[in-house]
Amino acid sequence: AQAGRRAGAGALDGLRTALSLAGSARGVGPLYDADEATRIDDALFAAALTPTLAAALHRLGQGLTPVAPRDDLPFAANYLYMVTGTEPTPVQVRAIERYLVCTVDHGFNASTFTARVIASTGADLVACVVGAIGALSGPLHGGAPSRALDTLDAIGSPERIDPWIREHVLAGDRIMGFGHPVYRTEDPRSRLLRGVAQEFGGELVSFATQVEQRVVELLAELKPGRELHTNVEFYAGVVMELCGLAREMFTPTFAVARTLGWTANILEQAADSKIIRPSARYVGPPAPRPVPAP
């Protein structure tokens, strides 16, 4: 599991490095100096290149030859094909399409806000996307789907659900795939992806739904009033695994979806020439001696 997480982080490292290089080679200039048509062209460039780079870097990391995109396949099918080297089934394509759509954007999450802050400085569009990928790489943001699936592996069987969850909650550990900084009820994206997973059926999906039900019940018991429910990451990992994606590709796949949302936010922010500059209030230790009055 740890190796998979390290590989996932490495995949994002490679993706942001390759995107930065590609932007430089293309000569992408500052948003501040670009007209609207140029900004849109740069956004399409970044959004189109991200899935191709993510898939190619993954295959190279596995010692495999990158697979070129095909003109006859739609976006989701093409992505799965470039990653796995095999044309996906219609069920897998439809599942990944729904995952990509429900994760394309989600308010001012950490990565989107990062992209908008960078865009507000007038920096180039690719720099904004690279910064967003850096924010997405954190385990509390885009790095969670593989960790949620690791939790299922660690529990292993239905009889271990209660003791495993109790032990980790009482130790102060976070149960990945549960709780959200905004939602105080079930994440609607989780409900959608649960339905997608159930269309596949099988042992993994059956176990995941058992774990979900007991974890929500146990969190309500052990952390009353916190309203900790399933979030999008829990079933995202299940769906991506059923579609044949390796765990190190879970977060890059999140980036593939979110790049479309990032670029839309970047274009919107670029239309406003005012820089994002939050105010701050110092709450640290007092000065060792009084500050002279002005």
> Which positions are catalytic?
180, 233
Amino acid code (one letter) for 150: D
* 3-state DSSP assignment of residue 30: strand
- In Å, how far from its chain's centre is CA 56? 19
Q: How far is CA 187 from CA 63, 105, 258, in A?
A: 38, 14, 17
Burial class (CB in 10 A: 0-12, 13-18, 19+), 105: middle
Q: What is the DSSP letter of 249?
A: G
- Distance, CA of 271 to CA of 122 (rounded, Å): 10
- Looking up tokens 């990032």 gives 262
User: Taking the CA of residue 96 as centre, how many other CA atoms within 13 Å lie in the half-sphere pointing to its CB?
Assistant: 26
Q: How far is CA 240 from the centre of its chain?
A: 12
